[in-house]
Amino acid sequence: MNEEMRQPAPLLRRAAAFAIDLFLINLIGIVLVMAAFGGMAVALRQMGQALPSQHLIVSLAEYGASGWPLLVIVYFGALTNRGGQTPGKMAFRIMVVATRHTEMGRVQAWWRAAAVCASLPVFAVFALAAFTPQKRALHDYLAGTRVIARPDPLPSPPPAQAAPVTDTQPVSVTPTAP
């Protein structure tokens, strides 16, 4: 990809993509917690035990929420490692690339994911992207990456037209004897 095609992604597209990704991460987390609680309820019923108290359920949910940073790192690390895009980035046609004219490496993708997770409590570090020429946030600087607007794909050729049928007479096939 040549340099003129590597324009920084607009900040609103980055923010919208990030919102979609956070929604998906939370949805995945809710599904995992519900599956764990459902499994626990089934196991307790099979053992003839009473369901846990509401206090215990809230405590377990808080404990499960402590795994949220790991879910963020796995989500961004795994997806960014495979093509530089998450579902949010795909939706808004942006992607993560290495700042040096090389492919983004596996370690670089996972380091960026960890930096994103570490940056979340101090959301202001994302605002850094508004004041840098390449629109890079703190996690982009730490990982040596940047987010670009993905170039439009080349237009595809029109679908091939079927040749007009000139003979509309039915064709009969008779089996031949061996």
36, part of any domain = yes
171, part of any domain:
no
Tell me which residue range forms the domain holding 108. 3-149
Residue 163 counted as domain residue: no
Which amino acid would we find at residue 120? L
User: Which pLDDT tens digits describe the chain residue by residue (178 residues)?
Assistant: 455 457 899 999 999 999 999 999 999 988 888 888 788 778 878 888 777 777 777 777 777 778 888 999 999 999 999 888 999 999 999 999 998 767 788 999 999 999 988 888 877 778 888 888 889 998 999 999 999 998 766 455 566 666 666 656 666 666 666 6
Number of domains in the chain: 1
Please give the model's pTM, rounded to 2 decimal places: 0.73
Cα(166)–Cα(122) distance, integer angstroms:
71
First CA to last CA distance, the chain: 62
CA distances from 4 to 7, 91, 114 (A): 7, 22, 29
Q: Is residue 173 part of a domain?
A: no
d(CA 85, CA 65): 25
Distances in Å between the alpha carbon of 65 and those of 76, 108, 129?
17, 26, 29
**Cβ(60)–Cβ(37) below 8 Å:** yes
